[in-house]
Amino acid sequence: MKKRFAVWTAGIYIVYALIMGLYLFWWADTGVPASYQGTAADPATFMTDRELQLSQEYSRYQSMMFFLGLPLEWVIYLGVMVLGISKVFKKFGERVSRFSWINIPIYVLLLSALTWIVTFPFDFIRRSLSINYGIGTQSFSGWMRDQMISFWISTLIMAVLITVLYVLIRRFEKRWWLYAWMLLVPFLIFMMYIQPVVIDPLYNDFSRLSNPQLEEKILDLAEQADIPADRVYEVDMSEKTNAMNAYVNGIGSNLRIVLWDTTLNKLNENEVLFIMAHEIGHYVKNHLFWMLAGSIAVTFVGMYLGYRLFHAAIRKWGDAWGVKRVTDIASLPALLLIFSLLSFIVSPIELTISRGAEKSADEYAIEMTGDTEAAVGSFQQLTVTALSDVHPPALVKYLRYGHPTMMERISMLESHQGSSNE
């Protein structure tokens, strides 16, 4: 069975990779539609021939890496079960300690380490592409430091969550999913609260915006939107990337308005103000709140479906995997596989909703600033700097893009300018 699993998995993966390669590099239509040609949304009007070529190459390679990495987590979890690795991890943890609050975190650490090792080459290739195409600027040592921080933070959080989860499964075998969801709700809110002040500073240095005049103008925009902010933060990202970004995150007293220094260096003042108006639009339209509410609702459904599928999977394949009951920690990869597949299934819907929210924030920003030239200029510069594909293949858009394409965003701004001039 183990040999057959390895052969079939390798064969299916190779066929899948070939199909995705053909789709991205030969079959997909990435040309500019006739209706957009010659407009401000046409990349030929604001990018050089070399930039256009690099944009197409970089976007395709990054999308290829995304699709190659997409099923990898599923293969790891299934392989750990089928090949008996899960039982080995479980026995090792039990040899260290008979207490669940010790042996379960050890199991999670081993599984996380294996997953990190297997996926590391894909992360490294993505980083290399970013460096080679002039997007990334971070040294390998700095990148590895961030990788290690991410690994230990995610492993620590996962160890706590999984330990609590299996305690619930063992005490409430038929209701664990409901109690787990009830505990997850305050956890999600807590993570949103501590993210800006505890987790983000582990990766970057935050300081007060170095341009006081610009800060005052941004805070004026925030005041118009009733955002309770008394300062704007600047984060030093130029040592890691040439890409640009800005955001408003956190809740309550921990809410922060943040600008990457690359955004400040590459955009003029009016363009920066438009970008910030867009981020403020998310706050005004309660997108953060609705995102949280949506996550809570989706998690409720996902936990219930996961519970049903998890119990069914253990009943059907548990003997072959050497797992007798759902209470056995060795069943964890099966549960993670189910949750990962459910997350993938719902992701196109989540991305569609996200694109709608981003369009709404764009509309708010252009109404707030009224500066179409700055708005279009900021998006064009974002496209050039990040070598973005303004018109990606449909599959890429619906599985990767949480924003409308740049072609759609710039076209909307041009339409706004046309309607304003009438």
Annotated binding-site positions for Zn(2+): 278, 282, 358
Q: Which residues make up each annotated binding site?
A: 278, 282, 358
Catalytic residue, candidates 215, 234, 261, 279: 279
Whether 371 is catalytic: no
Question: Using CA atoms, how far apart are residues 422 and 418, in angstroms rounded to an integer?
Answer: 7
Question: Which one of 215, 234, 328, 362 is the catalytic residue?
Answer: 362
230 is catalytic: no
3-state secondary structure the chain: CHHHHHHHHHHHHHHHHHHHHHHHHHHCCCCCCHHHCCCCCCHHHCCCHHHHHHHHHHHHHHHHHHHHHCCHHHHHHHHHHHCCHHHHHHHHHHHHCCCHHHHHHHHHHHHHHHHHHHHHHHHHHHHHHHHHCCCECCCHHHHHHHHHHHHHHHHHHHHHHHHHHHHHHHHCCCCHHHHHHHHHHHHHHHHHHHHHHHHHHHCCCEEECCCHHHHHHHHHHHHHCCCCCCCCEEECCCCCECCCCEEEECCHHHCEEEEEHHHHHHCCHHHHHHHHHHHHHHHHCCHHHHHHHHHHHHHHHHHHHHHHHHHHHHHHHHHHHCCCCCCCHHHHHHHHHHHHHHHHHHHHHHHHHHHHHHHHHHHHHHHHHCCHHHHHHHHHHHHHHHCCCCCCCHHHHHHHCCCCCHHHHHHHHHHHHHHHHC
Query: What is the C-alpha to C-alpha distance for residues 208 and 206, in angstroms, rounded to an integer?
Result: 7
Contacts of 178-181 spanning 24+ positions with Cβ under 8 A: 178/303, 178/304, 180/303, 181/299, 181/300, 181/303
Is the Cα torsion angle 341, 345, 350, 351 positive or negative in sign? positive
Q: Which residues are catalytic?
A: 279, 362
